[in-house]
Structure 1
């Protein structure tokens, strides 16, 4: 149980709801170990036990193959390191050899019990201190997959090293302390990889927060100004519409209806709960109006900035796309120039941006590369018969 719970807690897998499965795996592996150990060498027994552990973790706990290998190897490595430390301390205190200590049942029981307690305590501390890292993500980047494969290969090498170390216990001329140093060094490198991953992720998250805070400070005053202009515009449009109805001026009513429709588009952009995108759309609306382009905004869902990109970087990409669209629309004399911006999102899941317009046939390569660099997908579909363009950006 300790050998499984420690790495599962370290890699942020749920434990409580699977405690019965973990207990069942422990019973099966213990029974299997008791049956095969008297008949084969220790190293082969360890290999078969680890193989059974791996199969049960994959099919009972529903782990991915690479992740199951990493979890199992970290558990065995941690168990081997802690046990080696305890045995080293007993050898120094008692002045006995390794064979003398491991041949006594009382010391065997003490070493195994102490190792399990330390691993349980370690799992509890990791959970309380939130030192976990995650091997799973809903959308893994290509680099993340390659890194997981690298760690999986390294774990396999570590498993072989454990088996060789256990074989060395029974060989003649065995140097316990030298082998212990090799075990500690390999385990330290293995654990250091995950500590580096965790620190890099925390640093990236903090940089994203600081970048967005700085950008928000510059946009707060502009957002409030847009909201006030919108409220004033709406009340004035309503008053003028009532006056026009009383005078039966159909042309003015039609014009005011158009203004109210524009107001609804502006309100849709402001109601996006993420202020950076709302402020950006408000600014772009004024830019579009200066070129005679009607910007419409539709928000479906409760929008949050995708995890793989900051709000500042996302707005820069949108600005490049809007600049490309306006540059194309300026070259056409059509009176009906429009851009439709649609946001479709679900909390903690995937976000899709759809930009619809006319005449745009391609985007700059730099824009496409930047979106893909932040784990996004982009697709541009141009219909030559209707001249309509649909850009879909998916994070």
Structure 2
């Protein structure tokens, strides 16, 4: 089958026409891929950047993880979606056996596998996934939209985990990529008093403004530009770091009020020295990470917000390309593009072969 594979530990990938189909085991289903979207993690895998190396890629592997499709084959002894069911896929593949899984926290699985990192992924005509990882797509939702539930779910889960009621809250978002933009819409839909976005790219700032945020460049003072209550409190109630840039995370620690919360959402390489006494004791800050999505509460709440028109996932998509055009997709993401979809139904624009020019790792470009 046609697929994009990462075969060696170095920059680049290969587009092939003869990738063998994965075996279908008990508990699994095979999907015909309708749409798959490209994110910053894919860029780092393509460039073999720090974030990708930290994930411990199992090579060779079919890349891609944000996907929706239709069940075309069901494995033996498998309970789950029937043939013909349209599904999105939870790409953090939980074992179902460990303590976290038994307690209903599969996203914290002790033996977690990642689609497109540990097992063959979705930049292909077909993909095999656990039946238990499939989310049935509502009738009124397109499969292109459903392919965005996974990345948008990262924003939803961050809001769920932050511990700050959104009603009446002042919110700061660093990075207006797709995850940051969805976070803006979720926060406002749940009653946030104000949302301020810091983003260096002018086109992305316009997208944030269109979604109801006050969008500022890096030279602005978010607290000084915020509403009166935020200025009086000398900081925001909660801040979400979505860009994966360490200096941005460091800045957020100074932009939340005393006893405020900073959520780390974007994947960043490297370490950040933190003044422990000032950050955690005298200022009493809470710093939390958000990993993946809660299964299935994140999907259900996000799907409801999308269905009610509060979150516009379709508006994130700026380009649709064939599977063969992953390098072009990554180049677009380094510019002003929003979400780029790879659609197996589109005719390939190039012959099979290796793409050695990986371009820059997109660490620091909002996912």
* TM-score, normalised relative to structure 2: 0.19
Higher relative contact order structure (alpha carbons within 8 Å, sequence separation ≥ 6): 2
Which structure has the greater CA radius of gyration?
A: 1
Higher helix share: 1
